[in-house]
């Protein structure tokens, strides 16, 4: 209410109540409260389009910013609960549409908008945010080609991060069953909307944290998959949390988000990008039938490689066998010579027999009974003239008896126990063997002395020096008698 004109003219040093004036002066707090109610009642729901500036998040989780255009600026605040539901990373320079209500901040005599939801102002702003985020993460090296890892050729376990109820998981399982049946571990997540990015990032990190040999099989490769959609539907896979989780995963990751024309930041961070989820399953495993054919071909090549030297050896052996002469050809000269010698031997024996018969016939012609009678009579006369006497027999016997008596005397003198009668003794060890040198006797623990009338046990004295054995010259070997020569035999063919 505007004051009457005369009030200004009548203003004095001290404020006084005037007649008929019922407007009491308001306090600053009161007028601020009135302004707050007036603004909130008038602007309880507004949608503002502007560019974000001065974006910051407080430690309490509240979100503070300013919205501006070419001619004005308005402060904005988003409380913790609403800020946690943001679907994108708010940054300076983004053009957004903020939905909320206007209010005042009495502490600074300024008005602001309390933001309930914040959206990007069209796909252009969304693409600008995407490019800005891509450039920032690329500068950190998350998309470098050197970080990409090779996929395992034949994974035993395949992890899939996707929605458990969509067509994507059915396509992946069907393709894996057709190509190469494998063990599949599914981590169910939301693939769009609030909280989808956090669930996808947690699933990728969860697979990476699994220990080999644990209750849940650790995948050899991870597939992050989602069906096609608009850029808003796929935005969860552009979130920094998902990109960092894929880049930090210790397991090779295949990104299969959207169709072939769709591109997300998850594709840049993954080790391989698949145009579709079905193509991701084809990348993960080979075709089992093709692998079996390849193995069969390799086995056949291996067999051929093993048998080829054997076949070559057989061919070389056959060639050498053909070059070698036949066994009968080798023996023909010797067989012919054998036949010749056999024939010569037969003729020589026949000639020798004929000559023998001729000599025998000549000798037989000279033999006659009278000649034999004369020879027998002459032998009888020589026998009659020979005189036999007992001395011829007794003399050899007497000579033999004398030699036997001499050998008996020598034997009695050479008996080993004969010297015992002259006071000598025989020293034996524990086994009864006779000892002939002092060194052998000193090394025995007990000795036995044999005398003429009995034995006596003795122990060698300890510490007695052992003399060196006497040097014995080797005896000359006996001369061998020349063997008597056998009488020569006349040649049969002479």
pLDDT digits (tens, 9 = 90+) for 37-92: 888 788 888 888 888 888 888 888 888 998 988 888 888 899 888 888 887 778 77
Does residue 473 fall inside a structural domain?
no
Confidence bin at 176 (pLDDT 50/70/90): very high
Cβ-contact 152, 271 below 8 angstroms: no
- Output the domain CATH number for residue 196: 3.40.50.10550
Quick one: pLDDT at residue 376?
Answer: 84
Same domain, 94 and 157: no
Q: Is the pLDDT of residue 219 over 90?
A: yes
Confidence bin at 482 (pLDDT 50/70/90): very low
Does residue 467 fall inside a structural domain?
no
* Average pLDDT of span 138-164: 92
Same domain, 240 and 307: no
Does residue 301 fall inside a structural domain?
yes
Does residue 213 fall inside a structural domain?
yes
d(Cα 303, Cα 114) in Å, to the nearest integer? 80
Quick one: pLDDT at residue 420?
Answer: 76
d(Cα 221, Cα 153) in Å, to the nearest integer? 10
Q: Is the pLDDT of residue 100 over 60?
A: yes
Residue 87 CA, chain-centre distance (Å), reads 48
**103: which strand partners?**
112
Does residue 190 fall inside a structural domain?
yes
Same domain, 212 and 268: yes
Same domain, 226 and 255: yes
Does residue 168 fall inside a structural domain?
yes
pTM above 0.85, yes or no: no
Q: Is the pLDDT of residue 12 over 80?
A: no
Quick one: pLDDT at residue 209?
Answer: 93
d(Cα 401, Cα 409) in Å, to the nearest integer? 13
Confidence bin at 207 (pLDDT 50/70/90): very high
Same domain, 113 and 222: no
* Average pLDDT of span 253-271: 89
Does residue 22 fall inside a structural domain?
no
Point out the domain boundary residue: 121, 144, 167: 121
Count of structural domains, the chain: 4
d(Cα 179, Cα 291) in Å, to the nearest integer? 10
Same domain, 231 and 190: yes
Does residue 255 fall inside a structural domain?
yes
Quick one: pLDDT at residue 483?
Answer: 45
Same domain, 281 and 157: yes
Same domain, 310 and 259: no
Q: Which domain holds residue 299?
A: 293-324
Same domain, 213 and 301: no
* Average pLDDT of span 376-390: 77
- Output the domain CATH number for residue 47: 2.40.50.140
Of residues 369 and 203, the one with the higher pLDDT is: 203
């Amino acid at each position: 209410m505007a004051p009457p004109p005369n009030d200004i003219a009548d203003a004095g040093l001290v404020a006084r109540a005037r007649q008929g004036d019922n407007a009491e002066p308001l306090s600053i707090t009161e007028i601020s409260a009135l302004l707050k109610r007036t603004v909130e009642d008038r602007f309880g729901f507004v949608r503002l389009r502007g560019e974000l500036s001065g974006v910051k998040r407080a430690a309490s989780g509240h979100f503070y910013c300013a919205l501006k255009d070419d001619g004005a600026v308005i402060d904005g605040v988003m409380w913790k609960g609403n800020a946690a539901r943001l679907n994108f990373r708010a940054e300076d320079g983004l053009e957004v549409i903020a939905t909320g209500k206007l209010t005042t901040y009495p502490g600074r005599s300024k008005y602001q908008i309390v933001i309930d939801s914040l959206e990007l102002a069209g796909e252009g702003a969304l693409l600008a945010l995407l490019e800005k985020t891509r450039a920032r993460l690329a500068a950190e090296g998350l998309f470098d080609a050197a970080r990409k890892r090779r996929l395992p050729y034949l994974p035993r376990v395949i992890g899939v991060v996707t929605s458990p109820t969509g067509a994507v998981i059915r396509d992946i399982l069907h393709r894996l069953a057709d190509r190469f049946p494998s063990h599949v571990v599914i981590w169910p997540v939301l693939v769009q909307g609030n909280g989808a990015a956090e669930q996808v990032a947690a699933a990728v990190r969860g697979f990476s944290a699994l220990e080999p040999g644990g209750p849940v099989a650790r995948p050899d490769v991870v597939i992050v998959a989602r069906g096609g959609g608009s850029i808003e539907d796929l935005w969860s896979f552009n979130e920094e949390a998902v990109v960092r989780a894929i880049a930090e995963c210790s397991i090779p990751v295949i990104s299969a988000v959207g169709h072939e024309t769709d591109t997300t930041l998850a594709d840049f961070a993954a080790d391989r990008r698949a145009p579709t989820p079905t193509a991701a399953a084809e990348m993960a495993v080979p075709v089992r039938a093709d692998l079996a054919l390849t193995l069969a071909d390799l086995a056949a090549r291996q067999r051929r490689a093993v048998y080829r030297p054997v076949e070559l050896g057989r061919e070389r052996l056959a060639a050498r066998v053909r070059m070698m002469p036949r066994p009968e050809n080798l023996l023909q000269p010797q067989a012919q010579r054998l036949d010749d010698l056999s024939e010569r031997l037969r003729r020589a024996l026949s000639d020798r027999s004929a000559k023998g018969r001729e000599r025998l016939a000549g000798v037989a012609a000279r033999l006659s009974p009278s000649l034999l009678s004369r020879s027998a009579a002459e032998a009888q006369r020589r026998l009659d003239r020979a005189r036999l006497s007992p001395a011829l027999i007794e003399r050899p016997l007497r000579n033999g008896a004398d030699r036997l008596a001499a050998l008996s005397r020598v034997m009695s003198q050479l008996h080993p126990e004969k010297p015992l009668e002259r006071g000598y003794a025989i020293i034996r060890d524990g086994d009864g063997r006779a000892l002939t040198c002092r060194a052998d006797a000193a090394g025995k623990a007990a000795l036995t002395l044999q005398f003429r009338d009995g034995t006596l046990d003795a122990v060698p004295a300890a510490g007695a020096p052992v003399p060196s054995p006497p040097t014995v010259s080797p005896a000359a070997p006996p001369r061998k008698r020349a063997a008597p020569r056998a009488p020569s035999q006349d040649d049969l063919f002479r």
